[in-house]
Amino acid sequence: MIRRLWTWFWSPTKRYAWGGIFIVGGVAGIIFWGGFNTFMEYTNTMGFCISCHEMSSKPYEEYKKSTHYSSASGVRAVCSDCHVPKEWTPKLVRKIQATAELYHKIVGTINTPEKYEAKRLLLAERVWRSMKATDSRECRNCHTYVAMDFKKQSRRSAKKMQEGIKEGKTCIDCHKGVAHKLPKGYVDDDD
């Protein structure tokens, strides 16, 4: 039985042996996967994110003034830390969704400061909805309740954070405008 399988595997078809086909296909698959994964990671770099003038002129400049850019601990979050999931499947889904952003780049939907400001609230609400739906998954890559030392927080912050935990709030419920300024027209429904 094993001998027949071995012979079948390596016996030639009209042109090629099945074994050769599988080996070439396997090598091609590995090369494709490596290239695909490398490109996926490249699109998570700060340089890639701010390569569009739409991103470098507004969101990047705001981000540079935030604690996510410069902090006492020296930890810096880059765009993908907040906007792209770490797990592979959700990351792939987010990258597919980003193809719509490429379309809008091509047609110039937000290619001027005026157009960007006109769409800012819509864009922010879209990100906030996504973060709320995932329980602020990307925030929790760095910030976890179990690692928080409420004694080191200001009294007000510690109180609000603990209330938020009890109420089942997620990060984005209270922390809009942390890395980017709040859009005109945004009304905070919580004090």
Q: What number is the average pLDDT over the span 50-63?
A: 86
Position 171 pLDDT exceeds 70: yes
Average confidence score pLDDT of the chain: 88
- DSSP secondary structure letters along 3-36: HHHHHHHHSB-SS-BHHHHHHHHHHHHHHHHHHH
Confidence of residue 12 (pLDDT cuts 50, 70, 90): low
User: Residue 150, class by beta-carbon neighbours within 10 Å (0-12 exposed, 13-18 middle, 19+ buried)?
Assistant: middle
Q: Amino acid identity of 98?
A: A
pLDDT value of residue 187: 82
pTM score: 0.75
pLDDT value of residue 25: 86
Q: Enumerate the domain spans of the chain.
A: 11-42, 78-164
pLDDT value of residue 14: 62
pLDDT value of residue 24: 84
Confidence of residue 189 (pLDDT cuts 50, 70, 90): low
What is the rounded CA–CA span in Å between residue 127 and residue 82?
10
pLDDT value of residue 102: 85
What is the rounded CA–CA span in Å between residue 160 and residue 182?
20
